[in-house]
Chains A and B, each alone.
Chain A
Amino acid sequence: MRLYIIVAIIRSYIAVETHNIMEREFFNRVRNHPKYHELVQKRGRFTTWLSFLTLVLYYAFIAVLAFNPGLLGIPLMAGHITTVGIPVGVLIIVLSFVLTGIYVRRANSEFDELTRQIKEETR
């Protein structure tokens, strides 16, 4: 009885180890696949650009607030009281949404297709 348990433990240990080794090999196959590099590079570049754009957009706004707030208080048109700051503020909100849309569009088509191909070709 005890022997049976020991054998079972050893067997499950071997199964787990085999699984780990197979998984590691599979991960290595993915990692060395040229399309994986393409995916990582393309997405990395794309998200870096988009993040950079968002940060510039927002911190330019914050910088104006901090160093020259009067700029946002200038009337939009002569004789009007609506200031430049209002459309600028609304524009930042709208652009934030548009930027997420741009990312989703490319990621859901191009990046997901690449991922699908990588999975299929490394199986």
Chain B
Amino acid sequence: MKGWIILLAMAVASFLLPHLGWADALTGQTEKQPLNVIAVVMFLIFVAATLGITYWAAKRTKSAKDFYAAGGGITGFQNGLAIAGDYMSAASFLGISSMVFLKGYDGLIYSIGFLVGWPIIMFLMAEQLRNLGRYTFADIVSYRLERIPIRTIAAFGSLSTVILYLIAQMVGAGQLIKTLFGLPYEWAVVIVGALMILYVAFGGMLATTWVQIIKAVLLLSGATFIAGGALYYADFNIEMLFTKAIDAMKSSPLTDHKTLVAANKNILAPGGLVSDPVSAISLGLALMFGTAGLPHILMRFFTVSNAKEARKSVFFATGFIGYFYILTFIIGFGAIVLVASNPQYLDLAKGTLVGGNNMAAIHLSHAVGGNYFLGFISAVAFATILAVVSGLTLAGASAVSHDIYANAMRGGQVNEKTEMTVSKVAALCIGIVAIYLGIQFEKQNVAFMVGLAFAIAASANFPILILSIYWSGLTTRGALLGGALGLISTVTMVVLSKTVWVDVLKNPAPLFPYKDPAIFSMTLSFFGCWLFSITDRSDRANLERQAYEMQEVRCQTGIGAVGASKH
């Protein structure tokens, strides 16, 4: 009961805070945007609709299976859309379109890396996850390995990924709403945090899924319209769009564009993103296998009823996501043509776009569709952030309640109501941490922050998950030490790299030379899993190896897999 009161208080606060912010805004900083009434109205409609869904979902969420997996009754097509909704984050929409806007072709390299993880998930993991798991990916790893250490390491991997990814989303949210509403960055982050806590704590997976489905449909239609608008200005001729973009860039007053032009860089060719072979392969590994280790994505496979639907989910998701990335590429170039040349979108004093360079897609929506469409896209972008952070928060909360609390601490002997309460409290705590860190990381590039989350997912979560499914030799000791090695080495290398060591901690030079540690940390992790497994001569390890046979039968045929609940 107490928890509900706190949540309600936060909800009320989230609607009151903007007004306090406004009072400050009038006297405070100088470059506030005028209030976009259309955007505010559309956003409020979305919030009202999603809170309605949350209320409906809350009434249907009675068991732990309902809370974590929406009762297992989501169809393949719905789940495909929801996965796309989960995956097409604000970092993708704003970050990648702005990366294309700033660097051209390099943005496409990121998109491709984000997409090619999906076929791999399909071939190696989708139906295996569905057949072996229940609520979290740790269910699979601990199927035959010892519960307490495995759940703990998996939960740490999940939480690190979730928190990093959340920071990126929060930064996107803050910048977006600052530009839209003229609100201080901090208030925007607080509103997003409060709403996501409400969705997750009250509506569980069912509410989260529907928020993601609605958002995916809105975002795909919105992005289609923006890209179509950009192509319209180039007579639907892609060659003409590129020609115009290169011309526009020559006279662009943006600092980043000036640097590119001065260096005589071709924006239609690979540029400085990938500077050396080690970084290129490392980034590739992190993007490809990171997707296969993201806890909020893995969790979506437990919401469908069987392996067939799990496969269909990936098929539809890959199609939607691929289509979306092609759109962001067109949007980035469209923005060079229509946004970089238009003074109303430029902040000449700073040499960036109004509201920061991540706003390229948002400004382009205004350029092609006017105020109403800007309002729509702004509301959609906000909805995008809310959908993704909800999925992340739910995954983080599940790691705390299902893996750490129910299984590692209480040995699986805990009643469902208590477990769900723990999950709701965890959602609240994760929300507060995300708000705090979102404010701390205001100045970081959001797409790059996502890269860090992917590196951890690829080096800590993915190796133990894939080995537990396919390698009978994996033992508890191997998975624990290998996973820990991956997690610790990634975090260490990330902290010592330029992003954190120089940009955040203000040291003069990075101690680790590469931006992406995945090539080293993934190797360390796999090697650790292998070495500490084959040298494990304990009786328990032998039992674990023998138990693989039964696991394999269930994995291959779905015999004994958890089915959908009746409602």
- Please say whether chains A and B are actual partners in one complex: yes
Q: Which of A20-67 contact B (CB under 8 A)?
A: 23-24, 26-27, 30-31, 36, 39-40, 43, 47, 50-51, 54-55, 57-59, 61-63, 65-67
**Contact assessment for B308 and A96 in the assembled complex, using a CB-CB cutoff below 8 Å:** no
Contact with B along A97-117 (1 / 0, CB 8 A): 101110110011000100100
B220 contacts the other chain (Cβ, under 8 Å)?
A: no
**Contact assessment for B270 and A97 in the assembled complex, using a CB-CB cutoff below 8 Å:** no
Closest to A24 in B: B550
* Distance between A115 CB and nearest chain B CB, rounded to angstroms: 5
**Contact assessment for B318 and A66 in the assembled complex, using a CB-CB cutoff below 8 Å:** no
* Distance between B567 CB and nearest chain A CB, rounded to angstroms: 25
List 3 tightest A-B contacts by C-beta distance, closest first.
A73-B269, A66-B280, A66-B277
Provide a sorted-by-A list of 18 A–B residue pairs whose CB atoms are within 8 angstroms: A36-B553, A40-B552, A50-B123, A51-B119, A58-B113, A61-B112, A72-B269, A73-B269, A82-B239, A82-B268, A83-B105, A86-B105, A86-B108, A96-B118, A99-B122, A100-B118, A100-B122, A104-B314
Return the contact of B274 from the options A69, A70, A83, A86 (Cβ within 8 A).
A69
- Apart from A50-B123, A96-B115, what are 12 other A-B pairs with CB-CB below 8 Å? A30-B557, A31-B553, A39-B556, A62-B280, A66-B277, A80-B239, A81-B243, A83-B105, A100-B118, A100-B119, A108-B311, A118-B557
Return the contact of A30 from the options B127, B281, B553 (Cβ within 8 A).
B553
Closest to B283 in A: A62
A90 contacts the other chain (Cβ, under 8 Å)?
A: yes
**B276 contact set on A, CB distance < 8 A:** 66
The distance in angstroms between the C-alpha atoms of A90 and B122, with both chains bound, is 20
**A119 contact set on B, CB distance < 8 A:** 557, 559
**B560 contact set on A, CB distance < 8 A:** 23
**Known: A92-B116, A93-B111. Contact between A66 and B281, CB under 8 A?**
yes
**B238 contact set on A, CB distance < 8 A:** 82, 86
**Contact assessment for B112 and A92 in the assembled complex, using a CB-CB cutoff below 8 Å:** yes
**Contact assessment for B284 and A67 in the assembled complex, using a CB-CB cutoff below 8 Å:** no
**Known: A51-B124, A100-B118, A101-B315. Contact between A65 and B280, CB under 8 A?**
yes
The CB with the most chain B CB atoms within 10 A, among A73, A90, A104, is that of: A104
**Contact assessment for B322 and A94 in the assembled complex, using a CB-CB cutoff below 8 Å:** yes
**A92 contact set on B, CB distance < 8 A:** 112, 115-116
**A100 contact set on B, CB distance < 8 A:** 118-119, 122, 314-315, 318
B246 contacts the other chain (Cβ, under 8 Å)?
A: yes
Return the contact of B269 from the options A24, A39, A70, A104 (Cβ within 8 A).
A70
The distance in angstroms between the C-alpha atoms of A6 and B466, with both chains bound, is 44
**Known: A36-B557, A62-B280, A85-B105. Contact between A54 and B119, CB under 8 A?**
yes
Task: Say what secondary structure dominates the interface of chain B.
Answer: helix
**Contact assessment for A59 and B284 in the assembled complex, using a CB-CB cutoff below 8 Å:** yes
B288 contacts the other chain (Cβ, under 8 Å)?
A: yes
Closest to B279 in A: A66
**Contact assessment for A97 and B322 in the assembled complex, using a CB-CB cutoff below 8 Å:** yes
The distance in angstroms between the C-alpha atoms of A26 and B553, with both chains bound, is 10
**Contact assessment for A65 and B122 in the assembled complex, using a CB-CB cutoff below 8 Å:** no
**Contact assessment for A85 and B127 in the assembled complex, using a CB-CB cutoff below 8 Å:** no
Give the interface size class of chain B.
35 or more
Q: Which of B264-306 contact A (CB under 8 A)?
A: 266, 268-270, 274, 276-277, 280-281, 284, 288
**A61 contact set on B, CB distance < 8 A:** 112
The CB with the most chain A CB atoms within 10 A, among B243, B266, B269, is that of: B269
**Contact assessment for B281 and A107 in the assembled complex, using a CB-CB cutoff below 8 Å:** no
**Known: A24-B550, A58-B116, A100-B118. Contact between A83 and B558, CB under 8 A?**
no
The distance in angstroms between the C-alpha atoms of A27 and B552, with both chains bound, is 10
**B235 contact set on A, CB distance < 8 A:** none
Closest to A74 in B: B269
Closest to A108 in B: B308
**Known: A72-B270, A83-B266, A115-B558. Contact between A96 and B242, CB under 8 A?**
no
B432 contacts the other chain (Cβ, under 8 Å)?
A: no
* Distance between B311 CB and nearest chain A CB, rounded to angstroms: 5
The distance in angstroms between the C-alpha atoms of A40 and B549, with both chains bound, is 12
* Distance between A2 CB and nearest chain B CB, rounded to angstroms: 23
**B13 contact set on A, CB distance < 8 A:** none
The distance in angstroms between the C-alpha atoms of A58 and B119, with both chains bound, is 11
**Contact assessment for A65 and B109 in the assembled complex, using a CB-CB cutoff below 8 Å:** yes
**Known: A58-B112, A73-B266, A104-B311. Contact between A47 and B123, CB under 8 A?**
yes
**B242 contact set on A, CB distance < 8 A:** 81-82
Return the contact of A104 from the options B111, B280, B315 (Cβ within 8 A).
B315
Contact with A along B81-125 (1 / 0, CB 8 A): 000000000000000000000000100110111011011101110
* Distance between A28 CB and nearest chain B CB, rounded to angstroms: 9
**A27 contact set on B, CB distance < 8 A:** 549-550, 553, 559
**A93 contact set on B, CB distance < 8 A:** 111-112, 115, 322, 325-326
The distance in angstroms between the C-alpha atoms of A97 and B119, with both chains bound, is 7
Contact with A along B319-334 (1 / 0, CB 8 A): 1001001100100000
**A50 contact set on B, CB distance < 8 A:** 119, 123
**Contact assessment for A96 and B119 in the assembled complex, using a CB-CB cutoff below 8 Å:** yes
* Distance between A70 CB and nearest chain B CB, rounded to angstroms: 7
* Distance between A84 CB and nearest chain B CB, rounded to angstroms: 9
The CB with the most chain B CB atoms within 10 A, among A27, A72, A80, is that of: A27
Closest to A77 in B: B239
**Contact assessment for A31 and B314 in the assembled complex, using a CB-CB cutoff below 8 Å:** no
The distance in angstroms between the C-alpha atoms of A79 and B22, with both chains bound, is 54
**B322 contact set on A, CB distance < 8 A:** 93-94, 96-97
**Known: A65-B109, A94-B322, A100-B314. Contact between A83 and B268, CB under 8 A?**
yes
